[in-house]
Chain A
Amino acid sequence: MIRYIAGRLLLILPVLFGVSIVVFMLIRLIPGNPAIAILGEHATPELIARVQNQLGLNLPIWRQYLHFLGNAWRGDFGLSFFYQQNVSTLTLERIPVTLTLIGYAALIGLAIAIPCATLAAVRRETPVDHVIRLVFTATIGIPSFWLGIVLALLLSVKVRLFVLGGGGAGGLDTMWHLTLPALTIALHISPILVRALRSSLIEVMDSDYVTTGLAMGLRPVTLLVSYLLRNGLTPFISVLGLNVGWLIGGTIIIEQVFGIPGVGSLLITSILTRDYSIVQFVTLVLAFLVILVNLLTDLAYAVLDPRVSFQR
């Protein structure tokens, strides 16, 4: 198990290396000169040339990349063009809010998906099942930014239940500020979760060992927790893990919509202002998160399904 984890952790390096190349090139492919973005419309060509030189943007792209790589290896990811501050400091202070938002959204997503999927599976092919499936099929087509605005209008402006935007002052205040965006992300991701869990629960319910368990007179709670949910959750976990990238992607948009000071809103602002160093670092951090969650997903298999082993 430990060897497996160590091997997987080692694999992170080449993946991040690949991601760094792609992001480095992609952000530079977007039209637009960072020097102009920094200096604004009034800047003279001479001033633009001077700033470009200062930023090292006059060098050939491969030299810029090698420069970046060399510094990154030493843990220096550069300065933000705009704020003239270390990008790792700027980014890392925003990570807790984003992680809380992702975790909170996942939790609310599960709180929506598990009851609905269980109900739909248990009442298969009844009107209840149809309604649940219909509602979630419709939800999947709703853009998250639109859903966010509608929820904000309803729950924050009309009924002043939740605070709109901001990261809060820490602790429960932060949770309160994050409820609406987390709910938006959760509603956006829950259709996939509901469908996945419903299918796997139905499969388990139809299996012989459940029939046997029933015939043996097992208590419903034992049957549900130890047989149904445990076996039904294994394929569901993989769906959840696979969608973490999507969850993080949704978080980026939602942070911008709700004005949350997390890495997502930082990324979007930095793309718009061509703050290359921030875009590179944030993307690497997010890629690392996705890889880490995928690893945790694989490990969770072993806990839920004893048949899965990491021994060779």
Chain B
Amino acid sequence: MGRDWPKMQIRRTAWHAVSWLVAVSLCVPVTMMLPRPSAGAAVVTLTMARNADMLTWDPYPTGDDPSIFTQMVVYDRLVKLAPSNKDVEPELATSWKMSPDGLTATFALRQGVKFSDGSPLSADDVVLSLTRAIDQKSEWGFLFSPVKSVSKVDDKTIAMHMSEPFAPLLAALSTFAASIYSKAQFDKYGKEMAQHPLGTGGFALESWQKGSQITLVKNQHYWQPGKPKIDRIMMRVVGDDNTRVLQLRSGQVDLIDFVPPNQVQQIRGAGQKVYAVNGTAVLRYTLNETIKPLDEVNVRAALAHVVDREAVAKNVYFGLATVAKSLLPATTLYYDPNADPMTYDLAKAKAFLAKSSVPNGFTLTVQLPSGNQTLLDAATIWGNGLKQIGVTLKIEQLETTTLIQTRNAERYTVYNAAWTNDTPDPDELMGVAMDFKSQHAAHTFYNNPEAQQLVAQARRELDPKKRQALYTQLQRIESRDAPQIYVVDVPRLYASSPNLGGFEPNSQGKYGFENVSKR
């Protein structure tokens, strides 16, 4: 019956009847593709796709990177990191002076600075912001532990009082945690300041659609003349790595963060700019010394000498990472690449293992976050090296928060992480790495009184040369005892369209948008 169907006319009518559906579905996008009139004067907008949204504008409880990076755009600090990433420069403080006993630091405040609402910056704002920053109950109070109080000297000067000389003070003041915000705003909103920031930075918050978009506008009262050069920043949350890259390549966004290393060549090939901020984090293995035989220094040293760091840098990070030569990232003050770094040396590793209680090898378990191919690849390379000395590497993949829980509960064997240095000073990382009392030396149970004493001494030492010597000694001790095995310095990767200029993110994650221009 079907084959005898007189179809010609029906077919034609069928096509007529359904073509409207296609037409309706397509007319919307086609209409949208027609050129639209531009409205008014040109407003220069920078559109950025970021991998995650921020959580709070209040530095006090901040823990996540997107919040840190965005707060650094809206707030200024007394000092900022110099382009070298190793020193600080004046920002809201024009000069500073340390008392001869090293217990009081006074800061002369920049005059004529206004918040983005036009109200003037006063010493009271600075005192409030820094008093909250040094609070040991705050998330980052530990950065300022010897600082006891902050006081107003006069309208143009503030002072910080310490219980002992504190060399990392300026470095700590350059972090987001020491951001300066409006006291009036804090008094008005209290904890709700997390939603209502008011700073003196180049940009101010216009709107925040949680989880999807943050819009920042130029601070009309910004204290640096002629800056910022752009009027508006739209930060969109685009969680998918591929989509961020495609949005950049299609010209819909000007800037993206967290560029997947395996796509860097392709992005460069398409004429886009790639920015690799080196020395911000070190990929490392933390060894739990309560698990035998990791309590033996010879075993740990053997494990450290079978990591083929060149291979990890080249094959896992596509040549974008550099071989780590210290537990400290390369941009850290007093970083010493010659402090007897761990190297890939099978003969040395075998010799170390021969001196241990397990000369013929053993089985070692490393816990990795599931779904992280980069860490898996790096561990596989380590596993190949370990095989050469008779050690079998078992890789256990755990869901990220479970992994952190396991690490915090100190039930792990080998933990793999990339820790970032928030200040240019080595005190933060070396302090945590050696501090047995509060966190069992980053949960390694490495207990070296000599190293702990050196950290404390370096924290108090105000002479840079002497500090340099102390940190070289500490880096040597770390390389020798290998409580943590450093692998590579992992860069932070951004990419932008070729017509973006002046984008120079620093190792703290500060974007530096006030210098950015768009052709």
Contacts and interface: CB of A to CB of B under 8 A. Distances in A.
A211 B417 contact: no
Given A31-B398, A45-B408, A206-B1, 14 more contacts: A31-B399, A36-B401, A111-B25, A122-B11, A149-B242, A164-B247, A164-B252, A172-B32, A205-B2, A225-B17, A228-B10, A229-B17, A257-B242, A265-B211
Interface in A91-126: 93-94, 107-108, 110-111, 114-115, 118-119, 122-124
Interface in A32-49: 32-34, 36-45, 47-48
Contacts of B5: 122, 205
Given A161-B33, A179-B28, A124 B2 contact: yes
A162 interface: yes
Interface residues of A, number: 76
A94 B211 CA distance: 10
Contacts of A206: 1-2
Contacts of A31: 398-399, 401-402
Interface in A247-286: 256-259, 261, 265-266, 268-269, 274
A122 B49 CA distance: 48
12 contacts: A40-B64, A45-B408, A82-B55, A111-B26, A119-B11, A119-B14, A122-B5, A152-B243, A152-B250, A160-B251, A162-B29, A221-B13
B49 A259 contact: yes
B374 interface: no
A235 interface: no
B29 A48 contact: no
A176 interface: yes
A173 interface: yes
Interface in A65-88: 80, 82-85
Interface residues of B, number: 66
A261 B401 contact: no
B496 to A, nearest CB: 16
B71 to A, nearest CB: 15
Interface string B20-57: 01101110110111000000000000000100100100
A266 B210 CA distance: 10
Nearest to B137: A47
A266 B240 contact: no
A39 B246 contact: no
A149 B260 CA distance: 15
Nearest to B251: A160
A111 B211 contact: no
B433 to A, nearest CB: 13
A149 B211 contact: no
A42 B63 contact: yes
B236 A83 contact: no
Interface string A216-260: 000011011100110000000000000000000000000011110
A122 B63 contact: no
Interface in B462-496: none
Given A90-B210, A149-B246, A214-B6, A36 B405 contact: yes
Contacts of A149: 242-243, 246
Contact of B243 (A94, A164, A224, A228): A164
Nearest to A81: B55
B212 A261 contact: yes
B237 A111 contact: no
Q: Is the interface of B mostly helix, strand, loop or mixed?
A: helix
Contacts of B236: 165-166, 259
A156 interface: yes
Contact of B250 (A42, A119, A156): A156
Which among A41, A163, A274 has the greatest number of chain B C-beta atoms within 10 A? A41
B304 to A, nearest CB: 22
Contacts of A85: 210
Contact of B22 (A48, A115, A164, A229): A115
Contact of B24 (A36, A48, A111, A258): A111
For B16, B251, B398, B405, which residue has the most chain A Cβ atoms within 10 angstroms?
Answer: B405
A191 interface: no
A111 B28 contact: no
B152 to A, nearest CB: 31
A28 to B, nearest CB: 13
A32 B399 contact: yes
A30 B242 CA distance: 26
A41 to B, nearest CB: 6
A221 B17 contact: yes
B17 A32 contact: no
A122 B401 contact: no
A175 interface: yes
Contacts of B194: 84
A224 B55 contact: no
A115 B12 CA distance: 11
A41 B242 contact: no
Contacts of A123: 7
Contacts of A292: none
Contacts of A172: 28, 31-32
A175 B243 contact: no
A115 B17 CA distance: 9
Of all A-B residue pairs in the complex, the 9 with the closest CB atoms, nearest first, are: A261-B212, A32-B401, A176-B32, A259-B238, A220-B9, A111-B21, A31-B402, A111-B25, A179-B29
Interface string A289-302: 00000000000000
Contact of B10 (A93, A220, A257): A220
Contacts of B247: 164-165, 259
A274 B211 contact: no
A165 B19 CA distance: 28
A48 B63 CA distance: 12
Contact of B13 (A108, A114, A224): A224
Interface string B220-250: 0000000000000000111110111011011
Nearest to A117: B18
Contacts of A94: 211-212
Contact of B404 (A36, A160, A163, A259): A36
B210 A32 contact: no
B408 A48 contact: yes
Contacts of B249: 157
A175 B250 CA distance: 18
B70 interface: no
A255 to B, nearest CB: 10
A27 interface: no
Interface in B238-281: 238-240, 242-244, 246-247, 249-252
Nearest to B408: A45
B209 interface: yes
Contacts of A225: 17
A45 B443 CA distance: 12
Contacts of B210: 80, 83, 85, 90
B55 A165 contact: no
Contacts of B373: none
B243 A266 contact: no
Given A164-B250, A259-B240, A37 B21 contact: no
Interface string B415-456: 001010000000000000000001100000000000000000
B6 A107 contact: no
A175 B211 contact: no
Contacts of B1: 206, 211
Contacts of A304: none
Contact of A259 (B19, B25, B237, B398): B237
